[in-house]
Structure 1
């Protein structure tokens, strides 16, 4: 039944024995600023607990002038070609009276002049438990592969085989973990352009982050050769601890993730959207953050207005800058919703339906509540927490659907505003693939 299935590229042995191996390097470490060089005999280590970090420590064997006013500008290199920026966090004497320095790398440690030709592999930190294409792992199979082709590249991303254990731990404790392993290669027999690959992977990480509701990042870049695994980059991506968010992404639906990734990759070919999407998604992630629901609504409205300007004024030029600035926030949001045939009424959610007689539609309710939060009055009647939650959820749905529309996504989405009794009712077709009534 499963003959011919590909083997997963995300083996437990690869992750536990190679990618999570603590020691990166042992030997001479050279710390350099503009005018000072210090050489240590030391060790560089990697850990993901409690957060991803790359540490170094060693005794000084070549003592330059250790100027503490410049501790934020050191560059570390090793004799085997590793390189990265570091912060020095400790200076002490060991039991032999020798000077010791310790610290951590600020973004990554990487192999200088790395230029692969055929294939690059990478680890993904903190994505979600997605369903995907079937792959084989030893004598069992599981559904967890994402496969995309774009501009001559083939990208494969596999969920780890012991995903249940890892995601159960993440649900209990948050923190950080390798959840997927990927590889990228040319499917036209040309050599890989590493800069091009890095840009492509960055766009894919933003798209995966949009599905997860929090930032997802790359932890390692490595090569698989006949000699074994060669890790060329250890990275410290700017990501928050894992948390399970209820987003648009229907994680049990096949093909949705590939479709939205392809859409985002095409959209981000445009330099304007390539620069705007990280800004817009950062606001989206902030609205899921650990804050009062009132603050989430304020952040989300600002993000929706930025998104409306980007599409209506800059992209389509359907609205002039002057007219946009003179319009109410509700008008701006209502206009972009109409562009994608996104419903703006308050029907479908019992909590919001109680407010139909008081507000014109969803954008009116959302912006009025935001204004009342930002400009409070003593005699203003406060809404209860459940109502505020669904008002925020309404804004989240607006943002998610507009972004999916920009990516020309034509699949299904998970509508968490409906709050039904079971998951099946929440899976809906996107509105722009249906004819307008």
Structure 2
């Protein structure tokens, strides 16, 4: 019995030692090495206010909040019937000005003919006066007729120039009104997502009134704050990684695109009082546009997480900040060979979500080729029809990243008016 108890005690000690060793390695694996810095933040995107150029009544708004719209998609249409009436009037004025110019051209031709006849009459009168066949009064009359014809010709030419200017003015009115009528159709300037629908059909919007607010998904980034000693060593274009709280097992590649030129105090709701005593620099880490485009259907702003930046170019990212996405971003694409002429390309790779990707290879293993994706999913999570899709970008477990610390920074979300 004594030997059996000893063996059981040894087994328990071995299990406890293995658990302690595993915990120590996990904690060591999640520690951020030297040459890196981190900060908590929120996924954001540039907001675009689609507003009216002039006061008008809203006819239709064919989009809803959350819709993904392409560049040039109609966001709202305005009632432009009064402008269309003004446009028809301006077009009629333009046609009238062109007819007036035709009359001016004919008048110039008439006056030019009269001036030529008067000049010839004066030459003949001078010849006859030299031979003594006419009196001096007849010469004076011919000279006066020539001067009158020349003045009439100058007046006709001036009238023609005025007709040309009238045509230019009328054409300008037509162009202006045509532009205003076209501005009655509010369109999306680029591919974006509808954040707020701020007007309804029938409402009258003032000049500059907002019909909708869009999120420019071509520029998705995380804003966070770094202290002075860290921001001073951070270079624009430096590599970055983003870990979202919703999907903490997948590192998203990014790059530093902005460091504030001025330091500031961090907001009260983000840092503690002792940390607010230090001046901080606002930093932006942008997600590559190609990655956002690939998973555009699942890109969401407002998701909180942590941003990690590289301060030392020679530093190596730890394994828990590497993922399939970061390896794809750092490796050059390999274009597959095209099929022979006349043969189909097949179905290709099926669209896959971040949560369905294969586990990352262990350190030391080879890095896979460039993977192609169809219309994929994005940076957030989306409920499935048959149940939850998982709790992260990757389905396999991995050590958790360091604690996110204080609450994330507020995004640029805007309350609807």
TM-score, normalised on structure 2? 0.26
Larger radius of gyration: 2
Choose between structure 1 and 2 for higher RCO, CA contacts under 8 A separated by at least 6 residues. Answer: 2
For normalisation by structure 1, the TM-score amounts to 0.25
- Higher share of residues assigned strand: 1
